[in-house]
Amino acid sequence: MENASVRVLVVEDHAQTRAGIRDYLSSQGMEVAEASNTADALRLVGEWKPEVVVLDIVIPPRHGEKVDLHHGDGIRAAQQIKEFDAAVGIVLLSNHPYYRPEVLDLAGRGYGGLVYLFKGESPADELRNAIQQALEGRLVFDPQVSRAGARRPNDTSRSLTDQEREIVEYAVSEMGELTEREWEIVERVAAARTNAGIARELHIAPSSVQTHLTNIYAKVGLATTEEGALLDKRALLAKAYRVYRSKHVPSDR
């Protein structure tokens, strides 16, 4: 991995699983701290300042709190971590091969450095890669999840379905109508930048980025994509951008 000395906090209530993750990451040269519950995790985020948190979706809540663990208190902890420091990368681990609505909501807030990894039979190096992606500020959902029947199937690396191909082809046909500023937004969406990241690069407010995206979606025919499709829209817009660029010389917009 590019940044082997990265500080990683592993949050997992199952001691054996936590030890296995810790030992593997340590063998990769990473600095590792551990927590078995949300209270310790949040304390360590503030005190130890990890660069990435590997966080099980279902973990015990803070002492005394009544939280339905079936709804994933790890997701709530992830939100608190991002609110405390949005630069902290988070790898969410799940035993369940579908997207929880709370995960989509968290991703839809414009945070980068968020990777959703299905435990399944994933080899250890997938966790290492996920940590690198979180460090890079990427928004990544494990393709195994959508293959297993995701509630909101979306993976930017997979082949286009027939329906997606039609949507992308139409979007490509309309991209010539985008303004210079809108192109700047699209280019950064295709580079996996989040709203917050785009705002920093272009020196504008995150709300302005979202306003531009809303206008872009309307222009290229993505405004009517089905409900919950923030991730889908971004992925389809990125695909349309790549197709458009492949058909035009670099200087031609």
pLDDT per residue over 159-206, tens digit each?
Answer: 456 667 788 888 999 998 999 999 999 988 887 677 877 888 899 998
Phi-psi region of 137 (alpha: psi -120 to 50; beta: other; left: phi over 0): left
Query: Do 143 and 177 fall within a single domain?
Result: no
Task: Give the residue-averaged pLDDT of 69-86.
Answer: 76
Does 106 map to a domain? yes
Query: Do 21 and 140 fall within a single domain?
Result: yes
Q: Domain boundary residue among 147, 170, 192?
A: 147
Does 152 map to a domain? no
CATH code (residue 51): 3.40.50.2300
Of 6-20, 47-61, 131-145, where does the model show the most confidence? 6-20
Query: Do 61 and 182 fall within a single domain?
Result: no
Does 2 map to a domain? no
Query: Do 65 and 172 fall within a single domain?
Result: no
CB 135 within 8 A of CB 113: yes
More confident residue, 119 or 203: 203
Alpha-carbon distances, residue 206 vs 109, 188, 189, 203 (angstroms): 10, 13, 13, 9
More confident residue, 151 or 111: 111
Q: How many domains does the chain have?
A: 2
pTM: 0.58
pLDDT per residue over 21-48, tens digit each?
Answer: 999 999 999 999 999 888 889 999 999 9
Query: Do 138 and 199 fall within a single domain?
Result: no
Does 155 map to a domain? no
- Mean pLDDT (the chain, rounded): 77
Does 153 map to a domain? no
Q: Domain boundary residue among 84, 115, 147?
A: 147
What is the reported pLDDT for 224?
61
Query: Do 125 and 170 fall within a single domain?
Result: no
Does 93 map to a domain? yes
Query: Do 25 and 123 fall within a single domain?
Result: yes
What is the reported pLDDT for 157?
36
Does 157 map to a domain? no
More confident residue, 91 or 5: 91
Does 81 map to a domain? yes
| Domain hosting residue 39, numbered range | 7-147
Query: Do 135 and 221 fall within a single domain?
Result: no
Query: Do 128 and 192 fall within a single domain?
Result: no
What b/e readout covers 172-198, taking b as 16+ CB neighbours within 10 angstroms? bebbeebeeebebbbebbbebbbbbbb
Statement: residue 151 has pLDDT above 70: no
Query: Do 190 and 86 fall within a single domain?
Result: no
Query: Do 118 and 168 fall within a single domain?
Result: no
Phi, psi of 98 (to 5 degrees): -155, 160
Percent of the chain with pLDDT over 70: 72
Query: Do 184 and 89 fall within a single domain?
Result: no
Q: Domain boundary residue among 121, 147, 173?
A: 147
